[in-house]
């Protein structure tokens, strides 16, 4: 009787551990929010996507409205083309804009959609024309350092 009770608790502990590992694997792979909703595809071009990855969230007003399905490089325009899968229940005007944003200071990157004012709505295959590329922290730091160095040289001349 004592052995069966011990076996039960050990088995329960192993099952809970396996469930925890599965949960962590899904979170790490950004697959924990699988959705079986109907989707439509739109694309957007960016000069710099920073660290954006496939399966990154597409958010509007802080609500996840879709996912990044594909990222390609266009060797004619030298831009990144990002393909977005938006849920059909969310309708956005054709003149909506897309920005690459960062969750927190150093968090993961996602696409932020801001609704436009057009009466026409986005349909499958449409392209978002108003885009803003990712802000790369290294570029901001180097611009700051170069501007400070330039200020130091102009003060020496005075």
44 phi and psi, to 5 degrees? -145, 150
Mean pLDDT of the 132-149 span: 82
Q: Which residue has the higher pLDDT, 150 or 11?
A: 11
CA dist 145 and 148 (Å) reads 5
Q: What pLDDT is attached to residue 134?
A: 83
Output the CA–CA distances (angstroms, integers) from residue 126 to 3, 26, 69, 110, 136, in the order listed. 64, 31, 15, 20, 27
| Model pLDDT for residues 39-73, shown as the tens digit of each residue | 899 999 999 998 899 999 999 999 999 999 999 99
Task: Report pLDDT for 158.
Answer: 55
Angle at alpha carbon of residue 54, lines to 37 and 102, rounded to 5°:
100
Q: Supply the pLDDT for residue 98.
A: 94
CB atoms within 10 A of CB 100: 25
pLDDT given at position 31:
58
- Distance separating the N- and C-terminal Cα atoms of the chain: 92
CB 87 within 8 A of CB 122: no
pTM of the predicted model as reported, rounded to 2 decimal places: 0.69
Q: What value does the mean pLDDT of the chain take?
A: 86
**Residue 35, pLDDT above cutoff 80:** no
């Amino acid at each position: 009787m004592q052995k069966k009770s011990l076996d039960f608790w050990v088995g329960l502990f192993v099952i809970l551990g396996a469930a925890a590992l599965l949960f962590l694997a899904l979170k790490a792979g950004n697959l924990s929010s699988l959705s079986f909703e109907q989707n439509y595809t739109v694309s957007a071009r960016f000069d710099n996507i920073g660290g954006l990855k496939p399966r990154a969230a597409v958010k509007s007003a802080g609500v996840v409205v879709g996912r990044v399905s594909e990222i390609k490089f266009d060797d004619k325009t030298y831009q990144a083309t990002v393909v977005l899968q938006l849920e059909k229940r969310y309708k956005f005007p054709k003149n909506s804009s897309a920005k690459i944003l960062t969750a927190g200071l150093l968090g993961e990157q996602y696409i932020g959609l801001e609704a436009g004012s057009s009466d026409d709505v986005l349909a499958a295959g449409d392209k978002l024309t108003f885009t803003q590329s990712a802000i790369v922290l290294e570029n901001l730091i180097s611009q700051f350092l170069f501007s400070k160095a330039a200020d130091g040289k102009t003060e020496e001349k005075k």
